[in-house]
Structure 1
């Protein structure tokens, strides 16, 4: 069997295992694109998978940068896909060793996520109702969306996928299915609870079929609300509140994480609520509060203040 066919078979086997492990469709497509591209490069060089060395990987990535001007984050993603594929090939004894295992790219520092202060968030969430009944109903739905995004740090796709059965009003908990079909339980506050309950009183008027499997957020025709529609409504309500912020769902997730960390300091709890598999992902929200830093210094250092 030729290298190209052999490698293609291995890639298909690996992707099948990933699919069984509930990897998302988008993740599988990215894996297939990244790894197959590298395998084509190897095939062009008539290089068998078992003969690939670190220098070959370095040459491939250099070629991608020179030819396509790829960003550091794109290269990191490619390398991660190739590394995981080769790790599986090594464990399955199709390779003697994984040349990508110790290969590292210099990581660029991650920019801190944009933030909106607590007062501005409150201004958006506590703005007055519109005057017309139709707009009032629309506001009650949008407010419930905004409250949940900020109260629980949900992703856009998680809000869109939320079902009636996922909301436990008694214990104020949400059952969220996140990336990789991983399920987590996230609390939500009293104001979010009140907002969702008010919205659900409007729900039947919008032809909503109030059954456990039904979407929490729907259009006026009773259809599930789309991701782009949610983004547009979040942006619109920020504008209606007179806030000069390009508000989007992920920004409210950033605000949730940063405000929770600032007030609690509990990185592990915030990691769990955000659904981050890696703690380093959550650490980008540990903004330095210089006023708090100075206060801690004054209280703790033996020579900080005069006796």
Structure 2
């Protein structure tokens, strides 16, 4: 078997059947060629290796100072590759099957409070209503108001938000159809405040340059819509104006706040998973730390043993 051709076939399958992005495919390619180079020290190749040899090259990553997340990513790539070889009849075993995934610490998401989000939204709305600014400043403020309302109302990834087609928001719909990672579609609800902010932005957008663009937030750029980095900068500036550290605010932090605040108010974890577009519930479970204090309070208040303790 020719390794390069086999890897190309694997990547073609990952693109066609699983919707892997260009960046993901390039990461797979790098991981596989890295593994093959490392296996040369054992006088074998990626197509012929044993599980013991795979385990050794992955263990070497730890010695070289790689994070557990990097080790786990490369192991995931190898597992998918060997599953492809097995399915295609190119191997009759999967040498990666017995290798344990490196344990990694779950990084708790950075969260801002409901009060801080409320301050951001109120300030964005106030700035959008200001009359003592230039037309260009007014347009930026109107756009940012719509963006912040949408971020907090939907929990969209910033990449999903900036590329929203304008057609899906016309008519003030109650739900937005969103295409997320892996070309997976989902519906996210819109709050009344978000619908109003988007409607006001649309009214202005349709009267100015970019009105013929297919995107809700058009820009003179190759992709046709505003850059994520621009939104991040404007959001941080808004945070500073609201008296919040710029370090604590980003589009992703607003997404975290959306999920955490829903859970704090009793939303089901599976529902939050669906709204965020997570394919694996374990990804959503990083938000459950926000419930620990609430759950402890519930147990202390309502558990029969707690009542006995108070009585004694």
TM-score by shorter chain over 0.5:
yes
- Which residue of 1 is the match for residue 13 of structure 2? 17
1:83 aligns with 2:84: no
- Which residue of 1 is the match for residue 266 of structure 2? 264
Most deviating of 180-189 and 200-209: 200-209
Query: How many Å separate the matches in 1 of 2:58 and 2:141?
Result: 49
Could you state the TM-score of these two structures normalised by the residue count of structure 1?
0.90
1:72 aligns with 2:72: no
The aligned runs of 1:219-298 (5 Å cut-off) are 219=219, 224-246=225-247, 247-289=249-291, 291-298=293-300
Residue 287 to residue 48, structure 1, CA distance change in 2 (3 Å): closer
* Structure 1 runs not aligned, ≥5 long: none
Contact 1:160-1:227 at 8 Å conserved across structures: yes
Cα distance, 1:201 vs. partner? 1.3
1:70-112 Cα deviation digits (max 9, x unpaired)? 1111111111001110111112121121111121133122021
- Which residue of 1 is the match for residue 27 of structure 2? 30
Contact 2:179-2:185 at 8 Å conserved across structures: yes
Cα distance, 1:298 vs. partner? 3.7
Most deviating of 191-200 and 174-183: 174-183
Query: How many Å separate the matches in 2 of 1:304 and 1:110?
Result: 31
Contact 2:71-2:102 at 8 Å conserved across structures: no
- Which residue of 2 is the match for residue 97 of structure 1? 93
Contact 1:150-1:256 at 8 Å conserved across structures: yes
Query: How many Å separate the matches in 2 of 1:117 and 1:256?
Result: 10
1:231-286 Cα deviation digits (max 9, x unpaired)? 11111221222222421110100000111111123011110010000000000011
Query: How many Å separate the matches in 2 of 1:304 and 1:261?
Result: 25
Contact 1:125-1:147 at 8 Å conserved across structures: yes
1:59 aligns with 2:61: no
Query: How many Å separate the matches in 1 of 2:253 and 2:36?
Result: 38
Residue 303 to residue 240, structure 1, CA distance change in 2 (3 Å): same
Contact 2:152-2:257 at 8 Å conserved across structures: yes
- Which residue of 2 is the match for residue 112 of structure 1? 108
Contact 2:62-2:68 at 8 Å conserved across structures: no
Aligned residues: 299
Most deviating of 294-303 and 118-127: 294-303
Residue 100 to residue 114, structure 1, CA distance change in 2 (3 Å): same
Cα distance, 1:44 vs. partner? 5.1
- Which residue of 1 is the match for residue 153 of structure 2? 151
Query: What RMSD, in angstroms, separates the aligned Cα atoms of the two structures?
Result: 2.1
1:8 aligns with 2:4: yes
Could you state the TM-score of these two structures normalised by the residue count of structure 2?
0.89
Cα distance, 1:51 vs. partner? 3.7
Residue 32 to residue 259, structure 1, CA distance change in 2 (3 Å): same
Residue 125 to residue 288, structure 1, CA distance change in 2 (3 Å): closer
Query: How many Å separate the matches in 1 of 2:294 and 2:73?
Result: 36
Cα distance, 1:139 vs. partner? 1.0
Query: How many Å separate the matches in 2 of 1:70 and 1:206?
Result: 50
SS of corresponding position for 2:289: coil
* Structure 2 runs not aligned, ≥5 long: none
